[in-house]
Chains A and B, each alone.
Chain A
Amino acid sequence: MSTLHIIPLAPFLFAFLIPLFYKKFRHIHTGWFVLPLPLIIFIYLLQFLPLGGTAFQPVEVTVAWVASLGIDFTVYLDGLSLLFALLISGIGTLVVLYSIYYIANKRDEPLNNFYVYLLMFMGAMLGVVLSDNLIVLYVFWELTSLSSALLIGYWYHKERSRYGAQKSMLITVTGGFAMLAGFTLLYLMTGTFSVQEIIAMSDQIAASPYFVPAMILVLAGAFTKSAQFPFHIWLPDAMEAPTPVSAYLHSATMVKAGIYLVARLTPLFGGQAEWFWIVTGFGLLTLLWGSVSAVRQKDLKGILAFSTVSQLGLIMSLLGMGSAAFHYDVIDGESLYTVAILAAVFHLFNHATFKGSLFMVVGIIDHETGTRDIRKLGGLMAIMPVTFTISLIGVASMAGLPPFNGFLSKEIFFEGALNITTLDMFNVETLGFLIPVVAWIASVFTFVYSMMMFFQTFTGKHKPEELPKHAHEAPVGMLISPAVLGLMVIVFGLFPNMLAYTVIEPAMQSILPGLLGEGEQFYVNIYHWHGLNTELLMTMGVVLIGTALFLNFDKLQQTAFYLGERDPLNGAYDNGLTGLISGAQYVDGVQMTGKLRHYFTYMFVFLVAVLSYALIRTNAFAIDFANTAQISPYMFFIILALSLATIAVPFMTKRVPAIILVGIIGFLVALIFVVIRAPDLALTQLLVETVMVVLFLLVFYHLPELRKESFKPVFKWSNLLISLSVGAVVTITGLSAHAFSHGHDISPISDYFVENAYALAGGENIVNVILVDFRGLDTLLEVFVLGIVALGVVVLIKYKASGREEV
């Protein structure tokens, strides 16, 4: 157990103390106790940053967990993990600080719940990014789903919160299960759960028939978690969570778990056409769908939710494009496709900063005005100057304007999208031109909703009469966290190369290992000014067209497109869920009728089906009359009488004749025993039959007056058919069993009994000797059965419950 192991576990352990702090120090906001933990982790992780300009050396430490199954808690810290861990702990610190001011320390506010869930989430997320073992990763992955659902449903008295929590849980956990199946397939192919070892065997996996199924299953997990189309629908509904949660989980960290997974497994699956097209295609589709949907939102958090969806799509598509680098790249030091990976990592970082600050800003607006509806807001520029400034930075960065970091990552995104059109494989020649086109259209919409969000909130006329609260600037404590993030947007926008050596290069090295020779490293240099190239023209086009669209916003507001706020895919989800429930109820209603006769039908049909399938499968329709005994003349008469009596039973319309007929059958069976020379059986059968008839008559005599009715069997063709087939199948089974036993040399055990009954047990009646001596235990237990039955009868009749007793 090293310090690195403690990092993901510390939040879980610390969570145990939260209720204690909450109860003991009621007047101090519980958040203050939480705050140091992510800060310490963040500072601890900072020391791993490669500041000297040398290549980053991954750290790996292992603790055995379930060693027999190859499940070890291995922490693997490389550039990618470090980037994510820094984001999680850094933004975690800011979010905790922000939440202290956001969620008031009221009497009935369950702050202990909030911080326990939040710490759970933080630990789980750190576990996801740090663990090298797929099963451990999966465990932490599901813990993020669980804690996320708990956080979304924090205000569980609200119906929408519960709906959102359920939805996110169902979608992400379904994806998680698929991912587990994918991991299992990976294990089948390689025999190890360690990501690094699996990556080392990537050639072997690419040749395996499980390659595509494993890839699709793993991607299902990544896509559901990272809200890719069409699984993105949970994210807008997760906005019912408190705003710090939205800022932390649904912009900066959890939704990037899928991105992390795709990036982490790029060396494994990358370089294949399927991976390239699925990741790029879904990414671009999500990018476009998210940005178009965001324009239609009226709720600030709704806009941000769809904006997050769209930006996640952007990062995902970049990872897809970057995977092409595995095929052939770095020709004469000119890296063409690695640029996409650079853009992905850079934008991942940028998005976390500006989206985090924007969510916090929206939370402030909500907190200070009482609404998030952009139709009610307006003219807040003068009232909330600090909030306004931070928003301006965040929105400009989101829209991709210079000099903020969003501009840079968008430029590199365009560069990557343009580069990929030069790729002459994976059929990019035919469809590749769509990639920059889609990227450009999505950017236009991104620009429009950014403008919308900004101008509708801060400019125009202030409408105090529509606001539930008197609007004023937020307290300083609430502004610290967004201000820090806003500052980062500017600093990394102006000096992007600060990130290049420390964060981006090691992360690229983890996503694209093996492309560089020993001791080499990626050299990233990000400039604002590339000269007048296509990318810059594209950005200018985005700004122009976007502005034009926004100027016609009044017209846009009238269209049906703008009015339909809900994502149409929600209908599919809601109908699917209700359909699943009603479908299950329908099937259950049809099948579970509560009528014994239907269940008998199922059982008999199943019996006939299984037996006939087995007979056909083994081709067992053998009938062999060798070794059959001579039939004595009496037997014909007995069997004839027996058959007649049996056939007559169903036709009896009164109970008593039916009983008598059953008695007759019993006595005829006793006669058969006589003929086949089984005196003990015959005696027993006679006596049992006598006692049974007496019992039957007694019971029928006691049938209650009201229910007394004549016994009229209902005739049904289906029942006849089932009865006949049961009889036929059982008969055939018996016949074929006889035929097959003849073929095999099986000597009966009875010879032993015949020889030894007198010598060993001192008895001449072999049947009795077997019953009491050789197989005494059976007899003993049968007698126990009799005793239990008798007691059961007594209890049922004498101690009938009147239905009034308390159980």
Chain B
Amino acid sequence: MKNTPIQLHVVTRIVAFIILIFSIFLFFAGHNNPGGGFIGGLMTASALVLLYLSFDLKTIKRVLPFDYAYVIGAGLLLATLTGVAGMFFGFPYLTQFFEYFQLPILGETELTTALPFDLGIYLVVVGFTLLVILTVAEDDS
């Protein structure tokens, strides 16, 4: 390949990981600080868009062999089922619970059902953004 943008590739490799890590941070920070599933998802999608922009579609597809339609489906399923869980114990749909646990390594940690719900949102947002952008980009007609 002629004119391979070496600098771009190198920088992308580093930056993309930083963005990904930041996006995961945002996702987990959501409950107590700015962030959450939506922002985290968008940030992850941005990192992946950056990868797609600097490398060609085929390469990234080989590295990340996801069908984003399934990612959306998984996210929706997760978010929907989180709400259903509480119903088995007689609570209204989408009732969220939280409790503090003493976990190894992490110490006292708050575990909440809002997290899988947020994860569902995260997955849908990632899937949505990439599916739309890739579909439009791949359209060569």
By a beta-carbon cutoff of 8 Å, the part of chain A in contact with chain B is 679-680, 683-684, 687-688, 690-691, 694-695, 698-699, 702, 761-765, 767-769, 771-773, 776-777, 779-780, 783-784, 786-787, 789-791, 793-794, 797-798, 800
Given contacts A761-B96, A776-B117, contact A783 B33 (CB under 8 A): no
B15-64 contacts to A, CB under 8 A, are: 26, 30-39, 42-43, 45-46, 49
Q: Are A684 and B38 in contact (CB under 8 A)?
A: yes
Contact code string B77-119 (vs A, CB < 8 Å = 1, else 0): 0011001000000000110101000000000001010100110
Interface assignment of B8: CB less than 8 Å from any CB of chain A: no
Alpha-carbon distance A790/B104, docked complex (angstroms): 40
Choose one: B31, B43, B98, B127; the contact of A768 (CB below 8 Å): B31
Nearest CB of A to B57, in Å: 12
Q: Is the CB of A780 within 8 A of B80?
A: yes
Which residue of chain A has its CB nearest to the CB of B33?
A765
Q: Knowing A772-B114, A777-B94, A787-B76, say if A687 contacts B132 (CB, 8 Å).
A: no
Asked if B1 lies at the interface with its beta carbon under 8 angstroms from chain A, I say no
Q: B63 to nearest A CB, angstroms?
A: 20
Q: Output the nearest chain A residue to B73 by Cβ-Cβ distance.
A: A787
A777-B94, A790-B128, A798-B135 known; A783 vs B121 contact (CB < 8 Å): yes
The 6 closest A-B pairs by CB, nearest first: A762-B98, A687-B42, A679-B34, A764-B32, A763-B31, A776-B94
Whether A790 pairs with B72 at a CB distance below 8 angstroms is yes
Which residue of A699, A787, A789, A790 has the most chain B CB atoms within 10 A of its CB atom? A790
Q: How far is the CA of A687 from the CA of B83 in the complex (A)?
A: 28
Are A783 and B79 also in contact (CB < 8 A) when A695-B133, A765-B33, A800-B141 are?
yes
Q: Which residues of B sit under 8 angstroms from A797, Cβ to Cβ?
A: 135-136, 139
Question: Can you give 6 contacting A-B residue pairs, CB < 8 Å?
Answer: A684-B38, A767-B34, A772-B117, A783-B76, A783-B79, A793-B131
A780 to B96, CA, bound (A): 13
When the two chains form their complex, are residues A789 and B132 in contact, meaning their CB atoms are under 8 A apart? yes
Given A702-B139, A763-B31, also A779-B121 (CB < 8 A)? yes
B137 touches A787 (CB 8 A): no
Contact A791 B135 (CB under 8 A): no
Complex interface: chain B residues within 8 A of A773 (CB): 96, 114
- Inter-chain CA distance A387–B96, complex, in Å, is 97
**Shortest distance from the beta carbon of B73 to any chain A beta carbon, whole Å:** 8
Q: Which residues of A contact B98 (CB under 8 A)?
A: 761-763
Bound-complex Cα distance A690 to B98 (A): 34
A694 to B35, CA, bound (A): 22
B positions within 8 Å CB-CB of A: 26, 30-39, 42-43, 45-46, 49, 68-69, 72-73, 75-76, 79-80, 83, 93-94, 96, 98, 110, 112, 114, 117-118, 120-121, 124-125, 127-129, 131-133, 135-137, 139, 141
Q: Is the CB of A699 within 8 A of B136?
A: yes
Would you call B42 and A762 a contact (CB within 8 A)?
no
Task: Name the one of B31, B39, B120 contacting A764, with C-beta atoms under 8 angstroms.
Answer: B31
A80 CB, nearest partner CB in chain B, Å: 67
Is the Cβ of B39 less than 8 Å from the Cβ of A680?
yes
- A161 CA to B110 CA in the complex, in Å? 85
Across the interface, which residues of A come within 8 angstroms of B36, CB to CB?
680, 765, 767-768, 771-772
Cα A684 to Cα B34 with chains together (Å): 10
> Are A761 and B45 interface neighbours, CB within 8 A?
no
Docked-complex contact A786 and B32, CB < 8 angstroms: no
Tell me the complex Cα distance, A690–B48, Å.
13
Given A764-B32, A793-B136: A683 and B39 within 8 A (CB)? yes
CB distance from A675 to the nearest CB of B (A): 15
Given A691-B49, A783-B124, A765 and B31 contact (CB-CB distance below 8 Å): yes
Is A780 touching B31 in the complex (CB atoms < 8 A)? no
Give CA–CA (A768, B83) in the complex, Å: 16
Known: A684-B38, A691-B42, A772-B114. A789 touches B128 (CB 8 A): yes
CB distance from B110 to the nearest CB of A (A): 6
Are A790's CB and B96's CB within 8 A? no
With CB as the reference atom, state the residue of chain A lying closest to B80: A780
Q: How far is the CB of A804 from chain B (nearest CB, A)?
A: 15
Cα distance, A773 to B92, chains bound together (Å): 12
Q: Which chain A positions have C-beta within 8 A of B35? A: 680, 683, 765, 768
Residues in B with CB closer than 8 Å to A690 are: 46
Q: Which residue of B lies closest to A775 (CB)?
A: B94
Apart from the given pairs A761-B112, A776-B94, A789-B132, 6 other A-B contacts in the complex at a CB distance below 8 Å:
A687-B39, A687-B42, A698-B133, A702-B136, A773-B96, A797-B135
The distance from the CB of A464 to the nearest CB of chain B, in whole angstroms, is 80
Which residues does chain B contribute within 8 Å of A764, judged by CB atoms?
31-33
User: Taking the nearest CB of chain A, how far is it from the CB of B11, in angstroms?
Assistant: 18
Contact of A772 among B32, B46, B118, B131 (CB under 8 A): B118
What is the CA–CA distance of A694 and B124 in the complex, to the nearest angstrom? Answer: 19
Min CB gap B55→A, angstroms: 16
- Judging by beta carbons under 8 Å apart, are B136 and A783 in contact? no
